[in-house]
A = this chain, B = another copy of it.
Amino acid sequence: MRSVNTPRPATRTDVARLAGVSDAVVSYVVNSGPRPVAAATRARVLDAIHALNYRPNATARALSRGMSDVFGMLVVDARNPFFAQLVYAANRESSAHGHSLMTVSTGGSPLSLDEQVDELVARRVRGLISVHAFTPRQIERLRGQGIHVVVINQPAATPGIPSVRVDLPAGARTAVEHLIGHGYRRIGFVGAAEYRSAREHGWADAVSAAGLPLGPRVLTEYSLDGGYDAGLQLLQLEHRPDAVFVSSDQMSMGLLAAVHAAGLRVPEDLALASFDGVTESAYLWPPLTTVRQPVAEITAAAVAALVADDDDVDVVLPTELVVRRSCGCPP
């Protein structure tokens, strides 16, 4: 059972009393403003803070300021390694700016996206990093609450809202061009229905530009199982592709499992180029040739946009093709 007398944490008033100053002065030194404090006074306050092990109550501050110092982050599923790395990086980046991060995996919740955003709004998060696009109505609502928003990794910028993204079609194109350079002539595509366009267009452009016919296209889910399924479908085809561009490393991992289970080999029976460049991609067999998204730079730019509060930001970051063995390159 819980012990009876729980000593309450020190408050700003306790500190003020001990230091012999007013509450306001304690606030001034804790926040380094907005008014100046004499050096001697400041020292006394600091001593008192230390002696009492005082930590400002973040909820009181949030109420008073009308805004917390928490950022919210919306991803589809933080178990996907790419999102996991984004969240991890965003966490570090937010901390560096004195903010905490509250992450929600929107997929797999019984609540709608709007309801999940509402929860964050109720907590008065100061900013929101979202991999979901928002409708003008949603943006208006968020803005009405004074919440800054930045949308990341969407194929295109939403007007009037800061966005940080990567040139998805260009990234896909470099991967497919690399596959073409290997001499593969029948290049398939695996992607997800919802986000199909950007990466798929990159694939289609590269294939067409090389004067080749479009290979088979499989649309599935962004998941391990989706990738596995896609692999199965591809392998069952009467006329199999000799290479495939897969829209995410997680899908590639699933697809690889399907190929192995069929007793076939990558790249000999089916070459593969992937997208994301998560750490795991180097540890799969074979190691993935993949388009690396600059996770640290994405989150850094996103947090910067939140902090700067400039709605006209549209940062487009470059991707980088990481060549490993799944495409057929030598070790």
How many interface residues does chain A have, given as a range? Answer: 35 or more
Bound CA span A6–B142, Å? 10
A123–B58 contact, CB under 8 A? yes
The answer to the question of A176 belonging to the interface, with a C-beta cut-off of 8 Å to chain B, is no
Contact of A124 among B58, B92, B312 (CB under 8 A): B58
- In the assembled complex, the CB of A3 is this many whole angstroms from the nearest CB of chain B, namely 6
The answer to the question of A285 belonging to the interface, with a C-beta cut-off of 8 Å to chain B, is yes
List residues 55-77 of chain A with CB under 8 A from any CB of chain B: 55-60, 62-63, 68, 70, 77
A124–B57 contact, CB under 8 A? yes
List residues 18-73 of chain A with CB under 8 A from any CB of chain B: 55-60, 62-63, 68, 70
The answer to the question of A305 belonging to the interface, with a C-beta cut-off of 8 Å to chain B, is no
Contact of A1 among B57, B105, B119, B311 (CB under 8 A): B311
The answer to the question of A78 belonging to the interface, with a C-beta cut-off of 8 Å to chain B, is yes
- In the assembled complex, the CB of A100 is this many whole angstroms from the nearest CB of chain B, namely 6
Contact of A62 among B59, B78, B85, B282 (CB under 8 A): B59
B7–A144 contact, CB under 8 A? yes
Integer count of this chain's copies in the complex: 2
A268 contacts across to B, CB distance below 8 A: none
B109–A92 contact, CB under 8 A? yes
A103 contacts across to B, CB distance below 8 A: 103
A123 contacts across to B, CB distance below 8 A: 58-59, 70, 100
Bound CA span A311–B233, Å? 53
A224–B283 contact, CB under 8 A? yes
A84 contacts across to B, CB distance below 8 A: 78-79, 81, 84
B309–A280 contact, CB under 8 A? no
Residue on B with the closest CB to A68?
B59
List residues 103-152 of chain A with CB under 8 A from any CB of chain B: 103-105, 108-109, 111, 118-119, 121-124, 143-146
A111 contacts across to B, CB distance below 8 A: 95
Residue on B with the closest CB to A119?
B100
B78–A81 contact, CB under 8 A? no
Bound CA span A223–B108, Å? 27
Pick the most buried of A109, A144, A283: most chain B CB atoms within 10 A of its CB. Answer: A283
20 A-B contact pairs sorted by A residue (CB < 8 Å) = A1-B311, A2-B143, A8-B146, A55-B121, A55-B122, A56-B122, A59-B59, A59-B68, A60-B63, A95-B111, A100-B104, A101-B102, A102-B102, A253-B280, A257-B282, A257-B284, A257-B285, A260-B285, A260-B286, A284-B284
